[in-house]
């Protein structure tokens, strides 16, 4: 598909021309979104998507993943994976997690990384669409324990662009790594900037 970044061959794909066409149509319907930047070449990664201030962010992300034919997974409360939406959520890449699990969400997701040769996990580091003073650290702990990079994707509503940014190898200090990541995300305009 023309106008899209090149996707490295080793990344998990959906292998669906119909999905790609649907994704491109959705990007247009959502306001003419484009995809910019270089798709990272890591078989396993945590993808931090921000700023997250609207339900529309999820649909832009799903549309972009479909357009690029990427099999990007996301987390959802286990309680929403029920009939009639269970099959749809799984088909879109949903991974059910139970917050009451003895190893917590981080442990469950680290186990998922260990079980797969390729896994792209997209999530919002803010953990909410509302304004938060402190981003959650779960994504960082997942990346650290699974020994995978955190790759950044920005949602820029001002320019209607989903932007692939740098990948960060997490270090020993969450605050230091987060400061580095926020430098990238500060360049993006959220749908609701007052909540970013």
Helix (H) or strand (E) holding 167: strand 161-168
How is residue 171 annotated by DSSP?
Answer: -
pTM of the model: 0.91
Given this model, what pLDDT does residue 102 score? 65
- Omega cis (within 30) before 51: yes
Residue 164 CA to residue 124 CA, distance in Å, equals 14
Nearest to 72 by CA among 19, 27, 29: 19
Per-residue pLDDT of the chain (196 residues; tens, 9 = 90+): 458 999 999 999 999 999 999 999 999 999 999 999 999 999 999 999 999 999 899 999 999 999 999 999 998 888 888 988 999 888 888 888 877 766 788 998 999 999 999 999 999 998 777 888 888 899 999 999 999 999 999 999 999 999 999 999 999 999 999 999 999 999 999 999 998 8
Angle at which helices 56-67 and 17-29 cross, to 10°:
140
Given this model, what pLDDT does residue 152 score? 98
């Amino acid at each position: 598909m023309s106008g899209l970044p090149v996707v490295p061959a080793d990344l998990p794909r959906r292998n669906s021309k119909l999905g790609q066409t649907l994704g491109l149509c959705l990007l247009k319907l959502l306001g003419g979104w484009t995809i910019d930047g270089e798709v990272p070449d890591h078989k396993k990664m945590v993808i931090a998507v921000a700023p997250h201030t609207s339900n529309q962010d999820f649909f832009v992300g799903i549309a972009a993943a479909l357009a690029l034919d990427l099999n990007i997974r996301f987390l959802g409360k286990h309680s929403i994976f029920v009939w009639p939406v269970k099959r749809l959520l799984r088909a879109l890449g949903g991974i059910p997690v139970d917050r009451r699990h003895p190893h917590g969400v981080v442990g469950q997701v680290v186990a998922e990384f260990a079980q797969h040769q390729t896994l792209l996990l997209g999530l919002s580091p803010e953990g909410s669409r509302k304004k938060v003073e402190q981003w959650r650290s779960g994504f960082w702990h997942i990346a650290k324990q699974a020994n995978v990079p955190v790759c950044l994707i920005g949602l820029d509503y001002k320019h209607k662009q989903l932007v692939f940014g740098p990948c960060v190898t997490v270090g020993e200090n969450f605050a230091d790594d987060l400061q580095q990541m926020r430098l990238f995300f500060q360049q993006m305009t959220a749908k609701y900037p007052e909540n970013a």
